[in-house]
């Protein structure tokens, strides 16, 4: 394995204006890297990058990674996060999601080859689909419906992994992170994922909409921990896929009650139809991350939710009305 030091490195982050991408840019800069952030702003927001607006080690380019891509100057690493990630976004932009995972990843792999840069793909636990193995290890091949509505995201990421793996066989330095459910500050006010949805509903006094009977589980990881795992993987030289995620399972129904209490809300909990192919159980086996990267999540769910709720409550009244 060949690793490198972030201090003095020049790093490209795609999807930089997104939820995870913006936190990642800050973390890389704190480690001494110069960062170029790229985003087409289809789901990302420049407001997420306002803390870096005048930073001498950060540059931003408004561009689409699925278009012809030429990058001037030296480049040491590419962290490819560009893609709609929330179900509401990828179901609303299905072809754009497929292009980001396919054409976008091909473009990033070629750029990494030309620049002799390390390519880290931000993949997802969705490559496991509705898993029949629990918890999910990196060797599990998954249970994905290739023609269901979620396939535009699931199969885009599976294809992206295939591209990245082939680039590795062709001599490009690569890494693949399979990111499980991540939450925290800067999730979009319209994000359809479970944590921001429940927080939004609770804070506005709306019913908390639990899909199915709420017995399906999620394992949540606070964004600071997810970003720490990504940085450790990037600098480790490890090339095989690595699960990055929380290990404490919580049912969706219990999560709804936990968030309602944390928000001090009296909103009722109601039940709605379960989306097609919604995973019933989701928890990573993080043995690889623990042994190879020395990584485990540090932020407990109560603390992480408190920080996330505080951020959402800081939004202006005009934004709250628009939710």
pLDDT tens, position by position, 199-210:
999 999 999 999
Tokens 């709609």 appear where? Answer: 84
Q: Is 278 exposed, middle or buried, given 0-12, 13-18 or 19+ CB atoms closer than 10 A?
A: middle
Q: Is 273 exposed, middle or buried, given 0-12, 13-18 or 19+ CB atoms closer than 10 A?
A: exposed
Give pLDDT, residue 322.
38
Q: What is the mean pLDDT of residues 135-154?
A: 96
Beta-strand pair 217-219/249-251: antiparallel
Give pLDDT, residue 321.
37
Give pLDDT, residue 272.
94
Give pLDDT, residue 2.
57
| CB of 78 closer than 8 Å to CB of 16 | no
* pLDDT beyond 60 at 310: yes
Catalytic residue among 90, 128, 140, 153: 153
Q: Is residue 140 annotated as a catalytic residue, yes or no?
A: no
Summarize pLDDT for 74-96 with one digit per residue, the tens.
999 999 999 999 889 999 999 99
Task: Look up the pTM and report it.
Answer: 0.94
Mean pLDDT, the chain, whole residue set: 93
Reported confidence tier of residue 318, pLDDT bands at 50, 70, 90: very low
Q: Return the CATH superfamily for domain 10-182+222-246+283-298.
A: NAD(P)-binding Rossmann-like Domain (3.40.50.720)
Report the distance separating Cα 194 and Cα 307, nearest Å.
16
- Measuring CA to CA, which residue among 304, 168, 205, 192 is closest to residue 246? 304
Report the distance separating Cα 307 and Cα 309, nearest Å.
6
* pLDDT beyond 80 at 151: yes
Q: What is the mean pLDDT of residues 184-190?
A: 87
* pLDDT beyond 90 at 4: no
Phi-psi region of 149 (alpha: psi -120 to 50; beta: other; left: phi over 0): alpha
Reported confidence tier of residue 115, pLDDT bands at 50, 70, 90: very high
- Measuring CA to CA, which residue among 279, 291, 231, 276 is closest to residue 252? 279
């Amino acid at each position: 394995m060949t690793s490198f030091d972030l201090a003095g490195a020049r790093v490209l982050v795609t999807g930089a204006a997104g939820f995870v991408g913006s936190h990642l840019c800050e973390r890389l800069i704190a480690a001494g890297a110069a960062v170029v952030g790229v985003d087409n702003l289809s789901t990302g927001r420049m407001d997420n990058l306002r803390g870096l607006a005048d930073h001498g080690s950060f540059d931003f380019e408004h561009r689409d990674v699925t278009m012809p891509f030429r990058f001037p100057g030296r480049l040491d690493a590419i962290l490819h996060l560009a893609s709609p990630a929330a179900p509401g976004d990828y179901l609303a932009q299905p072809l754009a999601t497929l292009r980001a995972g396919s054409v976008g990843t091909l473009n990033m792999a070629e750029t990494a080859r030309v620049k002799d840069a390390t390519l880290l793909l931000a993949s997802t636990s969705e490559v496991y689909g509705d898993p029949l193995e629990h918890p999910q290890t990196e060797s599990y091949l998954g249970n994905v419906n290739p023609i269901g509505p979620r396939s535009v995201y699931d199969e885009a990421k599976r294809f992206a992994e295939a591209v990245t793996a082939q680039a590795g066989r062709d001599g490009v330095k690569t890494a693949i992170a399979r990111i499980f459910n991540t939450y925290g500050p800067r999730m979009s006010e319209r994000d359809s994922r479970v944590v921001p949805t429940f927080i939004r509903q609770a804070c506005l006094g709306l019913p908390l909409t639990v899909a199915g009977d709420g017995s399906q589980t999620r394992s949540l990881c606070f964004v600071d921990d997810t970003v720490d795992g990504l940085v450790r993987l990037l600098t480790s030289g490890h090339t095989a896929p690595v699960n990055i995620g929380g290990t404490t399972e919580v049912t969706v129904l219990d999560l709804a009650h936990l968030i309602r209490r944390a928000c001090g809300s009296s909103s009722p909990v109601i039940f709605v139809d379960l989306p097609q192919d919604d995973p019933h159980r989701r928890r990573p086996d993080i043995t690889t991350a623990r042994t190879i990267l020395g990584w485990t999540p540090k932020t407990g769910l109560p603390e992480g939710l408190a920080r996330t709720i505080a951020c959402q409550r800081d939004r202006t009244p005009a934004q709250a009305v628009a939710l």
